[in-house]
Amino acid sequence: MQHFEDSIYNLIVETSTNLPGDVRRAVAKGRALEDIATRSGLALTTIAQNIGMAELQVSPICQDTGMLTFIIHTPVGVNQIEMKKDIYNAITRATKDGKLRPNSVDSLTGENSGNNLGEGTPVIHFEQWEEQGIDVRLILKGGGCENKNIQYSLPAELEGLGKAGRDLDGIRKCILHSVYQAQGQGCSAGFIGVGIGGDRTTGYELAKKQLFRKVDDVNPIEDLNKLEDYVMENANKLGIGTMGFGGEVTLLGCKVGVMNRLPASFFVSVAYNCWAFRRQGVLIDPSTGTIQDWLYESGTGISVEGSKVPEVGDSPESKSESREVRLTTPISEEDIRSLRVGDVVILSGEMHTGRDALHKYLMDHDSPVDLNGAVIYHCGPVMLKDEEGWHVKAAGPTTSIREEPYQGDILKKFGIRAVIGKGGMGPKTLQALQEHGGVYLNAIGGAAQYYAECIKKVNAVDFMEFGIPEAMWHLEVDGFAAIVTMDAHGNSLHADVEKDSAAKLTQFKEPVFK
């Protein structure tokens, strides 16, 4: 199969850069349900623009290109050892070309392999079948949504929902709770795959396999079809909204599968996927390795953009409370304390990326640059280097809650005035923002091309030994927009939405399926 490596490379590029047609239609349907002039409406419009930009530029839709997971069906006799070698070569090429971010990290040393290869990465599931062709399916599921996966062991007592028993109604409660607990941290509006039964391992595998189903398919099991319809009708009533900003659209798809279990165990496993639902598949000729057919409809020609991103003044939320504020780094405490939740901040000047490795380092060491009045961006960009230097290929925000143990201390230690990320942070950070004079700015998760366009220059980089995603990149930006969701006055939009959605969750306590 002399062309197999090229076919896998093309599959990786298409999956990373071009959202499939069924997913685009789901996003477009969600946009139609949301008021375009709200924070969630603005976020969905930005998402739609980002989808088009990624396709046009053949660049990653989201900077977190996730854990590559392949499910491959082969005829008897096909050499799977040689196929693996070609897959590894294709992944190395795609990483070098900036279609994938180097995401494979040694769990003990923290060292990044640099090419997305390592023990356990990528994930490849081979299965034989009696068909003649080779069926290769790939999903790129980022860490932010992977961290919101959840598994329930029934019976269980669930917050707001009471007892969930070992029956269809207990499963219903688990699914609704899984959407609630994700809030905006998994880059809602999202998709979920649900696995009923199995053991702890196979339950999660079944849940992730549901994400390979097409968004508009119909479950052949009547009870599960009813359950999927129920979840899609009611999960959006929680009011979590896109990015957790509050709103009408929290879930874009729900697929449920079932398998047998042990008498003593009853697991409900949920695989949460962000709006950047990147999965694709190909049918490959086993004699040549060439692609015979694509298994999911291409997104090319299916626009989800609609109207342009609305001006802040167009929003009913903004007319009473919010405004657009332009700031240039370094930022003063006075400017920061003038901001309120809901304000849209347009940043220019230098900002600095910082993720897990940097935050841990800064707790006990000095910063290589002056951070007084600075902005820290929770981001692990996709970067390429040529003779002119480093270039940003994708640069959306990462989930911020991971930095909660460090963020408040680092803010005060270095005089940082603003933190940019997604999904919000907790009470320790909120208290530090209030005491020190800082704000948390929520960027649109997954909008990696939208934000990369705002980055005009890479000024420098420190800590390359941490790997590209974890390094401290010093970036010159212009027109970088994000929403204040935690301010210096003790207000948190994230806490408000979570409290409101918790109250709404209780309406689903009574049995539905008997």
Q: What is the pLDDT of residues 384-393, one digit of tens each?
A: 999 999 999 9
Q: Please state, in angstroms and rounded to a whole number, the distance separating the CA atoms of residues 419 and 42.
A: 20
Q: What is the pLDDT of residues 453-495, one digit of tens each?
A: 999 999 999 999 999 999 999 999 999 999 999 999 999 999 9
CA 292-298-301 angle, 5° bins: 135
**Residue 205 predicted with pLDDT over 90:** yes
Query: What is the token pair recorded at 482?
Result: 């994000």
Q: What is the pLDDT of residues 289-322, one digit of tens each?
A: 999 999 999 999 898 865 444 444 444 444 445 6
On whether the CB atoms of residues 225 and 219 are closer than 8 A, the answer is: yes
Q: What is the pLDDT of residues 317-363, one digit of tens each?
A: 444 456 899 999 999 999 999 999 999 999 999 999 999 999 999 99
Q: Please state, in angstroms and rounded to a whole number, the distance separating the CA atoms of residues 448 and 469.
A: 13
Q: Please state, in angstroms and rounded to a whole number, the distance separating the CA atoms of residues 304 and 287.
A: 38
On whether the CB atoms of residues 271 and 54 are closer than 8 A, the answer is: no
Query: What is the token pair recorded at 235?
Result: 């999960």
Q: Please state, in angstroms and rounded to a whole number, the distance separating the CA atoms of residues 122 and 142.
A: 13
- My answer on whether omega of the bond before 469 falls inside 30° of 0, hence cis, is no
Q: What is the pLDDT of residues 235-260, one digit of tens each?
A: 999 999 999 999 999 999 999 999 99
On whether the CB atoms of residues 153 and 267 are closer than 8 A, the answer is: yes
Directed axis angle between helix 4-17 and helix 80-96, to 10°? Answer: 50
CA 59-119-394 angle, 5° bins: 15
Q: Mean pLDDT across the chain, nearest whole number?
A: 95
What's the one-letter identity of residue 513?
F
The pLDDT, as a whole number, for residue 321 is 57
Report percent pLDDT > 90 for the chain. 93
Q: Please state, in angstroms and rounded to a whole number, the distance separating the CA atoms of residues 247 and 235.
A: 12
Rounded to two decimals, what is the model's pTM?
Answer: 0.94
Residue-range domains of the chain with CATH: 1-142+284-310 (no CATH), 143-273 (no CATH), 314-498 (3.20.130.10)
The residue among 215, 70, 58 whose CA lies nearest residue 139 is 70
**Residue 135 predicted with pLDDT over 60:** yes
Burial class (CB in 10 A: 0-12, 13-18, 19+), 271: buried
The pLDDT, as a whole number, for residue 37 is 84
Strand pairing class (472-486; 439-442): antiparallel
Q: Please state, in angstroms and rounded to a whole number, the distance separating the CA atoms of residues 198 and 205.
A: 9
On whether the CB atoms of residues 404 and 378 are closer than 8 A, the answer is: no
**Residue 408 predicted with pLDDT over 70:** yes
Instruction: For residue 389, list its beta bridge partners.
Output: 386
- Counting every residue written for the chain, the total comes to 514
